[in-house]
Structure 1
C-alpha cells in the first residue's frame, strides 16, 4: 500500500500501538468468574439456550464454573461449539444469549455469558490437552473447501466421528475471517492460529493451504476422489459502489485493509490517513473505522444510508465505535467520489429518507466530506462458483448462494455446504460453526448408510 501526503505510517508513539490493539475485553479471573456464575438462575427451560445458534447448555456450563469444575464447563461448551473460544470473543452475545437472560427482567443486567464462556474455554486450551478422542476409523474420506469457522467445525466433527478429512484453503493460513477479517483487538495474541491448532489436535485432519476451488481443483475432482464434500469457502467478492471515482488512489476495500492489518508484524508500518470516510453499516464498517482511528487517523466518519436501527452492526458495536472517536452519520448515501491528480479528495453524499411506500429515496440535498482515505464496507458477495462437472449435475443456487436443506445438504447428494456461502446464512461466526457441525453429522449418517 503506497503512501500519499496525508496517508502516512507511524502517526503514533510506539507504545500506543500495543495499547490500542490489546485485548478489548480483558478476561475474568477465578474470583470474578465465581461471582458472575453465582448470578445465574440455572433456569430449567433456559431462554439463553434457545438464543444460542449452537445450542450450548449455558446453565450447565455456568453451574460447573460455580463449583470450580472449569474443565467440565469447557466440555459442555465445546461439545456444541468447537470454536467456543473465538465465539466468546466475537459473538454478539448482547443480542443473543445475554439478551435472552432472565436477569434482564429484574436488573437489566444479564449474566456475562460470553466472558464466562471465554474463562472456561481459555482454561482448557491452556492445559494443552484435547478434550475429544476420535472414533474408530470409518475408512471414509471427506473433502472440505475452506478453513474458516464452517469448514473447521465440519472437519473437527467429522474427524471425531472417525472420518479422514482434507481441508483445502485458498489462503496461506487457516482460520478464515477469524484470521483475516475480525478486528485485531477482538482476537489478539494470535488467538485464531492457536484455536486452529487446538482443533487439529483431534487428529485425522490435513490442511492444504494455497489451494483454491476452480484454480487448483474442481468440484468434480473432489466428488470423484472423496466420499463426501463440504463447501465452506465464504464470500470472496467485495461489493462495489458503482460510482465515478471509485478507482481513485486512496479508495480501499475495508476487508483487504483489515486482512493486511491482521497479518502485519508491525502496526506502525501501516499507512493511515488524517481524514477517513467509511461507507457502510455492518460489523466490517465498524471494525475498519475503529481500527484506523486506533492507528492514528484524526477524523473518522462512518456514513450509512439508513437509520441506526437498520444497521447490521449491533447497538453495542455502534456505541463502541463512537466511544472510540468515530462519528456515525445516518441517512446519507454516496453519490460521487471526487479527486485531484488521481487521488481522493472528498465524497459527495445525498441525504436520504423513506418515501410513502417505505422505500429508501434520495432527497436531492447533498453535502461533501473531505477525505484522504475512503473505505468501502457495503458487504461481500459470493464469487461465481466454478462447478463445471462434465456438463452435468450442477449445484442448485439460491440467488448467488448455494441452496441447502436443514441438514446443509445441497442439491447434489454427496455435497454439503455452510457458512456465508449458503442461502440460509446468518452472517455470524457462531452460525457458521453450527452449519459445519450439522453438516458433519449429516455426512456421517450418509456415509454409514
Structure 2
C-alpha cells in the first residue's frame, strides 16, 4: 500500500494539484491559438459541428479566436455548452469534432486542435471574470433539479436564463458531479471544475442545497408536490462489484471512490497507493485510476480487460495516454479469484477468455498477477430506489426525445437515463434539451 511504497507523505499539501501533476495538455499561448485557428477552413455545414453533441458552432468560435475575439468565442461556446471549459479538457475530441475535421486526413498534418482552442477561449473568459449570461424575466414558476452534475447544472442554468427559479438538490458537499469527483486530477487542474460551477451559478436564480439525497432526504413525490416541474440528473450511484470472495480484503478499492478521495484531498501523501497495482476494467475510469496511480508513485500498473482492445470503452487515444505512462494493458482475461494473506490482497487470478460467437467464454487456462492494490473499475449501476415510480429501460430511467419520463412534469438526463453516452458533453446536451421541454411544459 502507499505508505509502504514511500509515496505517503511525499507530496505537499495542495488543493489544485497543479503543482504536483503535469497538465495532460499544455494550454495554447495567445500566439499559438491564433496560428492554430488560422488552420481552420471554416467549412460550410462543418462536419466538426455536426459531430459535437451540443452543436457548438465550431467554425464561428475558431474564426473569433483568429481575430483576437476570445471572449466572443467563449460566448459562442458556452451558449451551446455551458460546461465548455471542462469539456475542453475531458471530451473525447479525438473521436468527435477533431476526428470529423477535414484536416484529419493523410494529406494533412493533423486536425485543427479544437479542444485546446475551446480551452483557450473559456480560460480567457474565466480570467476576465465577465458574466456573459443574465437571469431571465421572472416567470413565477419553480423547478427542482436533483443532482448538481453536468446534466443538472446545464438544465438549471438554461432554466434560470429562461426566468424560472431553480433549486438544485445535491447529495455531496460540492457541486459538479463527476467533473468534481470522478475525473482524474491530472485532467482537471487549477480547480477548474469549481470555477466552472461558480460561473454557472453566477447567472442568478439558482439555489443549491447540498447534502440532500433523493430517497434519503427528499422524495420524488415531495418534489412533485412542492415544485412545478422536476429534473433528475442523479447519475449512477452504485458501483458494480466483482462478485468474488475477497472483495473485503484490504487493498481492494473502488476506482470511483479512490478518484473522488484524490480529487478532494488536501494532502496527497495521505492517500494509499500500492507498489504493484492491478486495475480490473476497460473504461475511462480504469484508464484514469491506472494513470493516476502511476503519477502517485506506483512502480507497476496493469489494466486487465475481459475482452479485446477494440472493445474497450476507453478510446484508443486514452489507451495510448496510459501506455505512454508505462501502464500495461492486458486483454482477454477475467478475474476468477482474489488472493490474500493476513487480510490483505496479494494478487488476482485471472482466467483467459475468448470470443465464442459473440459471447465471452472462459478457456480454462489461468494466470496470476501479484498486487498489493486492486482497483475495481467495472462500471456503475443505477440505484433503482431513487426512481421506483418511474418506468425503466435496461435498468435506467426511460425518457423520450425531450427527456420526459413516464411521470408528467418529471424529466431526466445524464448517466441515469437509458441510452446515455456517459459523457459530460452528452449530459450537458440532455440538460439543455430537458430545459427547453420543461419551459414549454410550464408555459402550456
TM-score range, shorter chain: over 0.9
Q: Among residues 395, 399, 405, which one is paired with 1:410 in the alignment?
A: 405
Match in the other structure for 1:440 = 435
Structure 1 residue 211: Cα displacement: 0.3
Residue deviations 1:300-358 (CA, integer Å, cap 9, x gap): 11101111110000011001011111111111111000111111111001111112x22
* CA distance 1:6–1:412, shift in 2 (3 Å): same
CA contact (8 A) 2:18 2:190 kept: no
Match in the other structure for 1:50 = 50
In structure 2, what is the Cα distance between the partners aligned to 1:18 and 1:113? Answer: 23
What is the 5 A alignment of 1:12-161? Answer: 12=10, 20-105=20-105, 106-107=107-108, 109-161=110-162
* CA distance 1:172–1:113, shift in 2 (3 Å): same
Match in the other structure for 1:212 = 213
* CA distance 1:130–1:4, shift in 2 (3 Å): closer
2:304 is the alignment partner of 1:303: yes
Q: How many residue pairs were aligned? A: 441
* CA distance 1:123–1:8, shift in 2 (3 Å): same
CA contact (8 A) 1:351 1:365 kept: yes
Q: Among residues 425, 430, 436, which one is paired with 2:425 in the alignment?
A: 430
Structure 1 residue 19: Cα displacement: 5.3
* CA distance 1:332–1:68, shift in 2 (3 Å): same
2:359 is the alignment partner of 1:359: yes
TM-score of the pair, normalised by structure 1 = 0.95
* CA distance 1:238–1:198, shift in 2 (3 Å): same
CA contact (8 A) 2:157 2:201 kept: yes
CA contact (8 A) 2:340 2:347 kept: yes
What is the 5 A alignment of 1:189-208? Answer: 189-208=190-209
**Which range moves more in the overlay, 429-438 or 323-332?**
323-332
CA contact (8 A) 1:8 1:272 kept: no
In structure 2, what is the Cα distance between the partners aligned to 1:226 and 1:15? Answer: 43
Structure 1 residue 372: Cα displacement: 0.5
Q: Which runs of 5+ in 1 are unaligned?
A: 389-393
CA contact (8 A) 1:7 1:372 kept: no
Give the SS at the match of 1:277: strand
Match in the other structure for 2:368 = 368
Structure 1 residue 108: Cα displacement: 5.1
TM-score of the pair, normalised by structure 2 = 0.96
* CA distance 1:4–1:48, shift in 2 (3 Å): closer
CA contact (8 A) 2:12 2:267 kept: no
In structure 2, what is the Cα distance between the partners aligned to 1:207 and 1:121? Answer: 24
Match in the other structure for 1:283 = 284
Residue deviations 1:10-55 (CA, integer Å, cap 9, x gap): 2757599765523221211110000000000000011001100000
Root mean square deviation of aligned Cα: 1.6
Q: Which runs of 5+ in 2 are unaligned?
A: none
In structure 1, what is the Cα distance between the partners aligned to 2:210 and 2:13? Answer: 34
CA contact (8 A) 1:243 1:337 kept: yes
Residue deviations 1:413-434 (CA, integer Å, cap 9, x gap): 2000000000020010000000
In structure 2, what is the Cα distance between the partners aligned to 1:55 and 1:48? Answer: 9
Give the SS at the match of 1:421: coil
What is the 5 A alignment of 1:158-307? Answer: 158-307=159-308
Structure 1 residue 191: Cα displacement: 0.8
